[in-house]
Chains A and B, each alone.
Chain A
Amino acid sequence: DVKVTQSSRYLVKRTGEKVFLECVQDMDHENMFWYRQDPGLGLRLIYFSYDVKMKEKGDIPEGYSVSREKKERFSLILESASTNQTSMYLCASSLSGFGQRGDTQYFGPGTRLTVL
Chain B
Amino acid sequence: DAKTTQPNSMESNEEEPVHLPCNHSTISGTDYIHWYRQLPSQGPEYVIHGLTSNVNNRMASLAIAEDRKSSTLILHRATLRDAAVYYCILRDPGGTSYGKLTFGQGTILTVHP
The contact string, 1 if C-beta is below 8 Å from chain B, for chain A 76-116, is: 00000000000000111010101111111111111000000
Complex CA–CA separation, A5 to B104 (angstroms): 24
CB-based contact A109/B42 at 8 Å: yes
Most buried by B among A4, A45, A96, A109: A45
B99 at interface (Cβ–Cβ under 8 A)? Answer: yes
Collect the chain A residues with CB atoms within 8 Å of residue B21's CB.
Answer: none
B-side interface residues, number (CB < 8 Å): 25
Task: Find residues 87-113 in chain B having any chain A CB closer than 8 Å to their own CB.
Answer: 91, 95-106
CB-based contact A56/B103 at 8 Å: no
CB-based contact A102/B32 at 8 Å: yes
Question: Which of B10-18, B44-52, B74-82 is the contact stretch?
Answer: B44-52
Complex CA–CA separation, A45 to B49 (angstroms): 20
Collect the chain A residues with CB atoms within 8 Å of residue B42's CB.
Answer: 109-110
The contact string, 1 if C-beta is below 8 Å from chain A, for chain B 30-70, is: 10101010000111111001010000000000000000000
Complex CA–CA separation, A110 to B40 (angstroms): 11
Collect the chain B residues with CB atoms within 8 Å of residue A33's CB.
Answer: 100
Collect the chain A residues with CB atoms within 8 Å of residue B34's CB.
Answer: 104
In the assembled complex, the CB of A64 is this many whole angstroms from the nearest CB of chain B, namely: 16
With A107-B43, A107-B44, A110-B42 already in contact, the answer to whether A102 and B100 are too (CB < 8 A) is no
One of A35, A44, A56, A91 near B98 (C-beta < 8 A): A56
CB-based contact B43/A99 at 8 Å: no
In the assembled complex, the CB of B54 is this many whole angstroms from the nearest CB of chain A, namely: 16
Chain B residues close to A by CB (< 8 Å): 30, 32, 34, 36, 41-46, 49, 51, 91, 95-106
In addition to A56-B98, A102-B32, 11 A-B residue pairs with Cβ atoms within 8 Å of each other are: A42-B104, A45-B101, A91-B43, A92-B44, A101-B99, A102-B91, A103-B99, A105-B46, A106-B46, A108-B43, A109-B42
